[in-house]
Every structure is written in structure tokens, then in C-alpha cells.
Amino acid sequence: MPELPEVATTISGIRPYLEGAVIVRAEIRERRLRWPIASDLEQRVAGRKVVGINRRGKYIVVHLDRGGLLVHLGMSGSFRIVDPQTRPEKHDHFDLLTDAGPVIRYRDPRRFGCLIHCEGDPGSHERLSRLGMEPLEDGFTGARLYRLGRTRNVPIKTYIMDSSVVVGVGNIYASESLFVAGISPVRRCSRISIARYDMLALSIRRVLTDSIAKGGTTLQDFVRADGRPGYFDQELSVYGRAGEPCLACSHPIKSRIIAQRATYYCPQCQT
């Protein structure tokens, strides 16, 4: 599933072709995504100017001169920039055609993504209003993580993957951040000191920032906006490395299932 760095990379890829452009029309070939695409979306967006694009959690937020769009990549969604004459393939579900020329085409083999039109400010949509802290903004601190976690009794990995607490820390980056912070993924979030939460907040920010700088680490079916595979520059410390030596201490990396997700950690370095 594309995670926060992949969403950030996607926005960087489509922004030059979409921001400031006027949507001439939308072509919807498949409405049955995670939530059905509105039957009149084409009419709502035609002629609207894109005034900005940003990210909230794993949502791409497209601000129009009236209303906006929310896009989620789901498990296998991606955008491509194509020539208007390029024929759509089987899983190419919708296009945004603009006065800038190229077509912004959405592909999603598993159809778990979404395209939602908002009449008002898309940033106020109910899909976004319940989301937690943004890990790359100033309000994300160890103190806030500590305060929210004191009354909970779940593993710390489950806690930091809860989007009502902090957004965008998916399975890969949760494992990597906990390794950098030296915290066991099974440790209960209520039994972690504020000092260790400070280290965890810094680690999450560092891991995500580094991944965005590299273009994002991703699963195999993620593709960047320019069509190149997203699975590149892979420098993972623990994720997917069960049985291999830890890069810090050489102890074998362990794996286990936490909240139905594969989790990787070093039992020597993480306590």
C-alpha cells in the first residue's frame, strides 16, 4: 500500500501538470472504487481551476476555485502523466484532462482507492476531520504522543499506526521508525517514558523525511507519476529482513504478527 512518502512523491509528480490548470473534463471509466464515484462528478469539475494541491494523511487534496477533490491511492493506486492520444488500459479508471495538455490518469488494479468531490473546502471533509497529528508538522511531538498513549493499552506499533493519533505512519515506516528509536514494537504504549516518546517522534520524522527525499519506498505495484517503478533506493533496516543480521548488532532480525500486520524488529537493539 502506498504510504505517506509515496503520496508526497505522487503530489510532487502531478503538481506541475495540474496546479494552476483548468479541468476541461473528467472521464470516468469505472465508478466502483472504494466508494462509488458520484454520477455527476464530471459536471461538477468541468471548467474548475486547480488552485492548490496538498496532502492530509494519505489523502491527496485537490483544491479547486470552487470545491475540491479528495483522492486516496488505496492499496494499488497510482497516477501517470500521459499524452491525450494514449489509449487507457484495463485498470485505468479515470482521467483528468486539463488545458495544460497532458492527461492525469489514475490506475488502480484493486479498486481500493477513491475520488470524492467536495462542494466546500475539501480540508473540512468528514474523511479528514477525524485524522490525527501530521508527523511532519510542528505539532507532532513526543509529549503529545506520550499524553495520548498514557490511557491506552496497545502495542506501540499499533498505536503509531492509528490514524486518529498520527497520520501516514504505515506498516513499513512504523517498523523502521521503532528500530531507529530502539523501541520494541510489542511494548505497550502506556509503558513508554516521555523521553523515549521524544526519540520516537524524532525517529518517525527522520524516517519519513529521508524516504520522501529518496522518492519513497514502496510495495511492488506502486508506480511514480512519471511511470517509473517506485520500489527503488531501498535502504530498509528491518522491514522484510527476517532472519538477516541486524545492521547495528548482527543479531538476526525477527518477525511477528501484530494487529494482523507483519512486523520486523531486532530483539537486541529494541527493548
Please pick, among 15, 111, 214, 261, the residue that the annotation labels catalytic. 261
pLDDT score for 189: 97
CATH 3.20.190.10 domain range(s) in the chain: 4-128
Please state which CATH number belongs to domain 4-128: 3.20.190.10
Catalytic residue among 2, 5, 102, 155: 2
- Confidence at residue 5, expressed as pLDDT on a 0 to 100 scale: 86
- Is 2 one of the annotated active-site residues of the chain? yes
Give pLDDT, residue 243: 97
Catalytic residue list contains 88:
no
In sign, the C-alpha dihedral spanning 55, 58, 60, 66 is negative
- How confident is the prediction along the chain (271 residues), in pLDDT tens digits per residue? 678 888 888 898 899 999 999 999 999 999 999 999 999 999 999 999 999 999 999 999 999 999 999 999 998 899 999 999 999 999 999 999 999 988 999 999 999 999 999 999 998 899 998 899 999 999 999 999 999 999 999 999 999 999 999 998 999 999 999 999 999 999 999 999 999 999 999 999 999 998 888 765 443 444 555 555 443 345 799 999 999 999 999 999 999 999 999 999 999 999 9
Q: Helix, strand or coil for residue 237?
A: coil
List where CATH 1.10.8.50 sits in the chain.
142-265
Considering only the top CATH level, what class is 142-265? mainly alpha
Residue 58 is among the residues annotated as catalytic for this protein:
yes
Catalytic residue among 44, 58, 105, 196: 58
Q: Does the active-site annotation cover 157?
A: no
* Beta bridge partner(s), residue 56: 59
